Structure 1
Amino acid sequence: MGILGIGTDLVHIPRIAALLVRQPHRLPRRVLSPFEHPLWHALQSSEQRVRFVAVRWAVKEAAYKALYPTFIPTWKELSYLPPPSDTRGKPSLLFLPSSDRKASHGVKLHVSVTHDGEYAIASVVAERVP
């Protein structure tokens, strides 16, 4: 076991809001994984949707930094998911590469996210596991 890499990213939430106003469906289609789309569609307010996309942008950028150059993930191969509603667990970050890419076996991702006011910050540690 050992650390494969670490990554951090900071997102200015108003920038994401402006992108969503100009092209409300393009950014979510590009950035969100198949697991994240239903969660995004279930959100009622535009403010919730903006924050949702901003957090995932930060998480995925941080994960890319932590995994590179061993892995080069795409946006949709990473999924930041809330804990199951029946638990008091933490959110999880999944790396599920498409079948024609290098498998992610032996990698565990640890993620921490915070958002306040106009900013969202994510940190990711990629760990090699047996």
Structure 2
Amino acid sequence: MCRSVLGIGSDIVYIPRFSRLLLKFPINSSGFQRLTSKFMHPVETECLNDLLLKGQDCTTYLAGIWATKECMLKALSSFVPLQSMPPAISIYTKLCYKTNRTGGGPKIEFDPRFPKTTSSHAQFYEDYIMGRNLQVLLSISHDNDYLIASMILRGSETE
């Protein structure tokens, strides 16, 4: 099957912005939970909790999740009609989540439960995610104060 580039998204994050958010909303606070619930999928929240249990700094992890979700929204907006798009919060928290490949590189997984958890947008999932056999190519890089994410969505064209 021939795959075409359907969408491209990129985002750059100033990591100290996330450091300031962590100072404003300490990790065990309800404010922190409210903040992360606006852009993190439950699978990502589990990974975050694992990092915290190990005593690791989560600033870059949070920045990477945010940048990835922004990339996804921008890339989907490249080919999905506005009237078919779910709200951004549904894309961020229910449609997909960032994990890592065996070698450590980032990858995106689409949540197969999305049509059930967001039934009003089940048709979007069927038409644009599964129907296009969507493949996500994601790259994340960070250096000092900046993190950049780039995403390409490839899939089959409509008939």
TM range (shorter): 0.7 to 0.9
Does 1:94 find its partner at 2:109?
Answer: yes
Say which of 68, 80, 98 aligns to 1:80.
Answer: 98
Equivalent pairs: percent with the same residue? Answer: 28
Tell which structure's C-alpha radius of gyration is larger: 2
In structure 2, list runs of 5 or more residues that go unmatched. Answer: 26-31
Task: Provide TM-score, normalisation by structure 2.
Answer: 0.70
1:2 is matched with which residue?
A: 4
Give the 4+ runs in structure 1 shifted more than 6 A.
Answer: none
5 Å-filtered alignment, 1:1-130, equals 1-23=3-25, 24-44=32-52, 48-68=57-77, 69-70=79-80, 71-72=85-86, 74-76=91-93, 77-83=95-101, 87-88=102-103, 90-96=105-111, 98-99=114-115, 100=119, 101=121, 102-103=124-125, 104-105=129-130, 106-129=133-156
Where 1:36 maps in the other structure, the secondary structure is helix
Work out the CA distance in 2 between the residues paired with 1:129 and 1:42.
37
Work out the CA distance in 2 between the residues paired with 1:63 and 1:46.
29
In structure 1, list runs of 5 or more residues that go unmatched. Answer: none
Tell me which amino acid in the other structure corresponds to 2:35. L
CA RMSD of aligned residues (A): 2.2
Distance 1:17 1:28, change over 3 A: same
User: What is the CA distance between 1:120 and its match in structure 2?
Assistant: 0.7
Where 1:48 maps in the other structure, the secondary structure is coil
User: What is the CA distance between 1:75 and its match in structure 2?
Assistant: 0.7
Larger helix proportion of the pair:
2
